[in-house]
Chain A
Amino acid sequence: MMSSAKRDHYLALTIRTIAILLFLLLWYLAVKLEWIDSMFLASPLDTLQHLIPVTRKAAPDLYATLTSFSVAFVTGVLFALLVGFVLSISDYNRKVFVPLLVLGVTIPKVTLMPLFILWFGIEQLPIIVFGALSAFFPMVVNVLSATGEVKPNQILLAKAMGFSRLQIYRKVIFPAMLPVLISGLFYACNAAMMGVFIVELALARHGLGAFVHDLAMTFRTADMYAAVVLTASITVFINMALWYGARYFGRWRV
């Protein structure tokens, strides 16, 4: 006799599998029965068949996107750490700057894209700058709230117990901040990817965004769906890598 928790788990798994299969079937039928013209929608089988050749063809663009993304992500995050820690030194600074930085997260920064193209040209630079800016704001807001997580009493206690300055940083301050910093990294990662793809699509010269754009423009529909699936898988993979990385580095906390 299965426990009810286990039964629920399998039930959920079954429902999920059926839902995904239903979606694929609907997708297949939409093309097969011509609900949607095959010029605009490729069937799941065609998409799958095109996946390997498209991946091979996309290799240089994939490389361009990954380099733009990595540079943008790392720059944005490092800059956010720097600015965040400098601003967190005094409570007054925090009060002055936090509303501005929060605004930086919520406003539609994408409107600045034409200006960035004006300033930084049409090669990889505007892609990187926009990606870095997209990563910067959510990260810096999280850095500032992470520094707020450190309780003054804990530092006092650590001092009373004779911890050195370095030890306080390593054993008290850093562990307290880590969860918020990690969630900031996730936001920053996704924002950077979004930023990179937006400018790539708009410029249509470098990277996967440009690759997808070209395929859409020339109505190579199956190739395009394959490229979208490829891009989506890569972003999911990056997210999972970040997740496992965060768990690996956070394992001592428990």
Chain B
Amino acid sequence: MHRVPPALTRLALILALLAVWELATRLTSVNVILIAPPSIVLWEIVRVFAGLSVPDFYLNAGITLAEIAVAYAIAAVFGVLMGIAVASSKVIGDAFEPILLVLYAIPKIILYPVIVLMIGTGYASKISFGILVGIFVIIFNTAAGLRQVEPNYVRLAHSLGYGKGKIFFKVELPAAAQTILSGLRLGFGYTIIGVITGELLVVNVGLGFLIDWASVNYHTAQLYAVVLITLAIGVVANLVVSRLERRWVR
């Protein structure tokens, strides 16, 4: 048994689960509003991509992806900059890190009503919430990465006559890259969660709107299809970023 590659066993398990799910919905009298069998969900996913199933799929998916992209770009740039600032001097770090830690400990979701009240129900509130959920891990990882740089490297570079800027870009940043990049990867996942949560709580456009539309109208197959597509976007995005991370670290 141990000669079977783990990936294959994993696949077999998932397929078995789908088979049980299919059989359970076919053979028992579970209400179709509650659970749609995988075969129907799969067919629905095909129809969603063909544009036949839910209203304006590509428009809504595009909006969600654009919100994620904008939120992540801002979170990444400001997160790294703030991380650099926090790590730049001990005094600044000691002054602001407790504040950041307290903010980090608060579940950001309770600030969402405040955000919506202040900047409205449009894209800006979802993007802001995505930034808020994603940025902290980027700040902390950037600061931690820069702090754990071997001080001897910096001393050596200094004695070789490198300037401050050159030391930062040629020595400190590359040495901290691995931790910073893993912060950027985690931050990306959190940003996606933030944007989609925002869409689901204040419904007007995007994939959140489609999920809500399907659930309110009891279009169960469509609901499962859109939920799976949204989850798949999360999975694919995470895979892409981990791939990039691994390439850059090398």
Q: Which residues of A line the B interface, CB within 8 A?
A: 8-9, 11-13, 15-16, 19-20, 36, 40-41, 92, 95-97, 99-100, 103, 106-115, 117-119, 190, 193-194, 197-198, 201-202, 208-209, 212-213, 216, 221, 224-225, 228, 231-232, 235-236, 239
Contacts and interface: CB of A to CB of B under 8 A. Distances in A.
Contacts of A209: 109-110
B interface secondary structure, majority: helix
A136 B189 CA distance: 17
Q: Which of B91, B117, B197 has the most CB of A within 10 A?
A: B117
Contact of B201 (A20, A96, A100, A201): A201
B110 A228 contact: yes
A134 B90 CA distance: 35
A216 B95 contact: no
A221 B227 CA distance: 34
Contacts of B34: 118-119
A16 B99 contact: yes
B68 to A, nearest CB: 10
A50 B90 CA distance: 38
B139 interface: no
Interface stretch (B45-53, B154-162, B230-238): B230-238
B180 interface: no
B10 A8 contact: no
A19 B112 CA distance: 23
B118 A198 contact: no
B110 A212 contact: yes
A201 B110 CA distance: 9
A194 B194 CA distance: 11
Contacts of A99: 10
B96 A107 contact: no
B114 interface: yes
A235 B109 CA distance: 12
- In the A-B complex, the 7 residue pairs with the smallest Cβ-Cβ separation, listed nearest first, are A12-B94, A114-B215, A95-B6, A15-B95, A12-B95, A107-B234, A216-B113
B231 A111 contact: yes
Contacts, number: 142
Contacts of A113: 200
Interface string B100-125: 00100111111111101110000000
Nearest to A242: B105
B13 A40 contact: no
Given A197-B109, A212-B110, A19 B96 contact: yes
B19 interface: no
Q: Which of B9, B10, B105 has the most CB of A within 10 A?
A: B105
7 contacts: A16-B98, A96-B6, A99-B10, A108-B192, A110-B196, A112-B227, A118-B34
A63 to B, nearest CB: 17
